[in-house]
Amino acid sequence: MATTQNTNTKAQELVAGKKAARLLQASIVKFIGFETVSHTGKLMASTAKARPGIDGLKDIAITQPRYGFMLNYGFEGVKSNGISMKLKATNHLADAIEKSRVLEILADELTEIKAEKVFATIDFKTRG
């Protein structure tokens, strides 16, 4: 019984994580479109994927080209062609996470899943 409940909880967490990852990915692409002039290229193919762990959802990983993270955090230095460059941070990742409310949605869903697991394991006895 406990193994079935644990497996069910893991599956539910992964479903919630995948749902949150899809929401986050759409939000990231939207904010990249706001921050950049072009809507084409590898940066628009940024992904967010839910990764499973031993006990359920491990994390949500964001994948994009290196220059996407440079665009997000800013860059100051010498490029490979010897030209000095200073790029202001756009914070499109933080904006995408904040505006999509993905963390709040995921936290609510995971809390509900964990609460169901706790209630299933508690043995309520009546005194009489």
Are the C-beta atoms of residues 9 and 118 closer than 8 Å to each other?
Answer: no
Q: What is the tens place of the pLDDT at every residue in 65-98? A: 888 888 889 989 988 899 898 989 888 899 999 9
Would you state the pLDDT for residue 121? 79
Would you state the pLDDT for residue 47? 92
**CA–CA separation, 30 vs 44, rounded Å?**
9
**pTM to 2 decimal places:** 0.77
**CA–CA separation, 63 vs 127, rounded Å?**
55
Are the C-beta atoms of residues 26 and 115 closer than 8 Å to each other?
Answer: no
Name 47's Cβ contacts closer than 8 Å, sequence gap at least 6. 25, 62, 63, 64
Would you state the pLDDT for residue 99? 92
Which residues, listed in sequence order, are joined to residue 52 by a DSSP beta bridge?
A: 57
Q: What is the tens place of the pLDDT at every residue in 28-66? A: 988 887 766 655 578 888 899 999 998 889 999 999 988
Mutual angle of helices 92-100 and 66-73, in 10-degree steps: 80
Are the C-beta atoms of residues 118 and 53 closer than 8 Å to each other?
Answer: no
